[in-house]
Structure 1
Amino acid sequence: MSTTRAARRHELNLYRRYFDLVAAGRKSIEVRVRYPHLADMAAGDQIRFRVKGTAETCDVRVLRVTPYPDFETLLDGEGPANVNPTASREQQLANIRSIYPAEKESLGALAIEMELVFG
């Protein structure tokens, strides 16, 4: 009896600056808070990213999901250039924390390694 699960499809919003990096294949790690609705995300799943308020989307395949206790540990573990090649580690930490306040960060962080899906 097989215990493999069917790949799931997730829909997530992205700010324009990050969407453009994902769509160009320049951002390979997406950072998210460890919300309960993302707990079952796994390699093989697909994510459709959408620029909020628009019809623009791009699809990625999840290669790996790695939990971290906080954003600093995640950036050190994954490498800031994989998260955002256009910003320094310090800028990224400030940007991430402006999106997710401390009470959200206390839930933990997820690094989602991904690749673009074409077609």
Structure 2
Amino acid sequence: MSDTTPQTRELNLYRQYFDLVAAGTKTIEVRVKYPHLADVTVGDTIRFRIKGSDETCEVKVKRVTEYPDFEALLDGEGPSNVNPTATRDEQLARIRAIYPPEKETLGAVAIQIGLLS
């Protein structure tokens, strides 16, 4: 039997993305499908933190969807949900600057989030 108790996990975000999450305009968080994220599930809480700071923002996980790569993720989720301030091509370039090709081969995860009220 698996434990279905919602978890709280902490993830770092760059300031520009943190601000979009805190404003409620970024509703999809993009991550590489790392093993430590394999059990993220609906109902979990994510506490985003700006690295090196005490500033945090908590969100609830609404959905988790796996994709083979970042292009498929952006096409499936819609670029405006990932980052409403950048075009699809700009986002793809920025995501790939964060995650090199060998990381992308692990797969991509779209985590739909909503601010805690």
| TM-score of Structure 1 vs Structure 2, range by shorter chain | over 0.9
Once the two structures are TM-superposed, the CA of residue 93 in structure 1 deviates from its matched residue by 0.1
Distance (Å, rounded) in 1 between the aligned partners of 2:103 and 2:14: 18
Normalising by structure 1, we get a TM-score of 0.96
Once the two structures are TM-superposed, the CA of residue 48 in structure 1 deviates from its matched residue by 0.1
Deviations 1:31-75 (A, max 9, x none): 000000000000000000000001000000000000000000000
CA RMSD, Structure 1 to Structure 2 (Å): 1.1
Distance (Å, rounded) in 2 between the aligned partners of 1:14 and 1:100: 13
Where does the alignment leave 5 or more consecutive residues of structure 2 unmatched?
none
Distance (Å, rounded) in 2 between the aligned partners of 1:79 and 1:93: 12
Name 2:7's counterpart in structure 1.
Answer: 8
Aligned-pair identity (%):
67
Name 1:49's counterpart in structure 2.
Answer: 48
Name 1:85's counterpart in structure 2.
Answer: 84
In the alignment, is residue 112 of structure 1 matched against residue 111 of structure 2?
A: yes
Name 1:59's counterpart in structure 2.
Answer: 58
Deviations 1:61-90 (A, max 9, x none): 000000000000000000000000000000
Normalising by structure 2, we get a TM-score of 0.97
